[in-house]
């Protein structure tokens, strides 16, 4: 199975600041990567797919990028609704696998 | 609006069975790939199973293969997960999710239903 490694586990950021979340695959997954946001008690919400395409309704301050097997989710200016858990997921190889998550908390 | 509502979770003894349901609204379930994804307490996400309405083979994670069965009732626009021979490691919140245009991207999720396997 492809292993997805997210870093850091927890990111402490002040409102209005930039947040940069990382996700690394242990083998090539092309650009078949998605990012999800999860808040307590709710199912995940799709933010980004194909590494850099924003899902419908996602704010423009959220962006994704790829460099080889390294992927980045950037939130340019954190709003209160952005403090949450974030997961990356590869869908290049079966079984599809998720990273262990990065929690973005208020500094 | 697209909505997915799971139900059927609860407490079950090891070796027991449970059937989860996911009722869809705002779209026709049979025209999409539909998935079950689970989240162990305080842990990350694990894809469990998928099916779609075009007759493509269903797929399962190795951890549930031979014990879980995914199915649907198109008249009720409802997805099911029959879980047999349950183990402690099956304890998790189970989500149904819609696949985005046949890809491995999950574009809509339910709120989840909790399954606890314990004696």
DSSP labels for A54-91? EPTT--TTEEEEEETTEEEEEESS--GGG-SEEEEEE-
Q: What is the pLDDT of residues B27-67, one digit of tens each?
A: 998 889 999 999 998 888 999 999 986 667 899 999 999 99
Place A65 in a pLDDT band, splitting at 50, 70 and 90. very high
Amino acid A39: pLDDT? 95
Asked whether residue B101 carries a pLDDT value surpassing 90, the answer given is no
Interface list for A 88-107 with B (CB within 8 A): 89-92, 94-101
Mean per-residue pLDDT, A68-94: 96
Please say whether the beta carbons of A35 and A50 come within 8 A: no
pLDDT at B49: 95
Q: What is the pLDDT averaged over residues A51-77?
A: 97
Neighbours of A15 (CB within 10 A): 12
Question: How close A14 gets to chain B, by Cα (Å)?
Answer: 25
Tell me what pLDDT residue B57 has. 82
Q: What is the mean pLDDT of residues A40-61?
A: 96
Question: With an 8 Å Cβ cutoff, are B109 and A96 in contact?
Answer: no
The pLDDT of residue B52 = 83
Which A residues in the span 36-75 are in contact with B, Cβ-Cβ below 8 Å?
Answer: 36, 41-46, 49, 55
Which among A41, A91, A101 has CB closest to B103? A91
Burial track B94-106 (b if 16+ CB lie within 10 A, e otherwise)? bbbbbbbeeebbb
Please name the residues between 38 and 97 in chain B that touch chain A, using a CB distance below 8 Å.
Answer: 43-47, 59, 61-62, 95, 97
Q: How confident is the model at residue B100 (pLDDT cuts 50, 70, 90)?
A: confident
**Residues of B whose CB is below 8 A from A97:** 47
> What does pLDDT average to over chain A?
96
Contact B106 A36 (CB under 8 A): yes
User: Which pLDDT score is estimated for B42?
Assistant: 84
- At B112 the pLDDT is 97
Q: Which residues of B touch A44 (CB under 8 A)?
A: 45, 95, 106, 109
Instruction: Give the rounded distance of the alpha carbon of B46 from its chain centre.
Output: 11
Q: Which of A97, A82, A74 is nearest to A18 (CA)?
A: A74
**Nearest-by-Cβ selection for B105 from A34, A94, A99:** A34
- What six digits make up the tokens of A28? 């090539």
Contact predicate B114/B93, CB 8 Å: yes
> Any idea what DSSP says for residue B16?
-
Mean pLDDT confidence for A60-74:
98
Chain B residue at shortest CA distance from A5: B44
């Amino acid at each position: 199975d492809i292993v997805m490694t997210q870093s850091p586990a927890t990111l402490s950021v002040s409102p209005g600041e930039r947040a940069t979340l990382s996700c690394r695959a242990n083998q090539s997954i092309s650009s078949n990567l998605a990012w999800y946001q999860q808040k307590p008690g709710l199912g995940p919400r799709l933010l980004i797919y194909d590494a850099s395409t924003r899902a419908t309704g996602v704010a423009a301050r959220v962006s994704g990028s790829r460099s080889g097997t390294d992927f980045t989710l950037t939130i340019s200016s954190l709003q209160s609704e952005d403090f949450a858990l974030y997961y990356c997921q590869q869908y290049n190889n079966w079984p599809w696998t998720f990273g262990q998550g990065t929690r973005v908390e208020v500094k | 609006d697209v909505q997915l509502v799971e139900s059927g979770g609860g407490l079950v003894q090891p070796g027991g069975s449970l059937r989860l349901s996911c009722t869809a609204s705002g779209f026709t379930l049979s025209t999409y790939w539909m998935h079950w994804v689970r989240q162990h307490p305080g842990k990350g996400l694990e894809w469990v199973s998928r099916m779609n309405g075009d007759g493509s083979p269903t797929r399962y994670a190795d951890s549930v293969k031979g014990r879980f069965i995914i199915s649907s009732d198109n008249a009720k626009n409802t997805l099911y997960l029959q879980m047999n021979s349950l183990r402690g490691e099956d304890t998790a919140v189970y989500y149904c999710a819609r696949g985005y245009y046949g890809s491995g991207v999950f574009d809509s999720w339910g709120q989840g239903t909790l399954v606890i396997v314990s004696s």
